[in-house]
Amino acid sequence: MQETAIPTIFETVSVFFFLQGGFRLQVLDKLLRPVLDLTPVTAQSEFVAVDSTAQQYMVQIPADFECQNCTIRLLREAKEWAKGYRFWSCADVDIKPSKFF
């Protein structure tokens, strides 16, 4: 069985104020349904909460993953506002094999 390299991508986010809580990165399909979690989801939390001031996070996308007319969504918890309160930001993307760019 041949192993396939997994591309590594740095996702950089500009944050102008810091929130209590963690963040989550997801890829959504063209109908805005989640199709890939870019951050780990555990039994304890669906958010990465290591550093609330983080502005970069390294993600890995499977080499065979493709997605046209998709969205990357950043979800940020805002625990100081209310339990379960979240902000989000989105970016429209096409995820293609490297031979196409």
Print pLDDT tens along the chain (101 aa).
444 455 555 555 555 455 678 889 999 999 999 999 999 988 888 888 877 777 788 888 888 899 999 999 999 888 888 888 888 999 999 998 877 76
Domain-located, residue 1: no
Q: What pLDDT does 7 receive?
A: 56
Which range of residues forms the domain containing residue 36? 8-100
Task: Judge whether 96 and 67 are in contact, CB under 8 Å.
Answer: no
Domain-located, residue 71: yes
Virtual CA dihedral for 27, 39, 45, 79, nearest 10 degrees? Answer: -80
Domain-located, residue 83: yes
Domain-located, residue 78: yes
Q: How many domains does the chain have?
A: 1
Domain-located, residue 2: no
**DSSP letter, residue 48:** B
Domain-located, residue 88: yes
Report the predicted TM-score, pTM, of the whole model to 2 decimal places.
Answer: 0.76
Domain-located, residue 46: yes
Domain-located, residue 21: yes
Q: What pLDDT does 30 receive?
A: 95
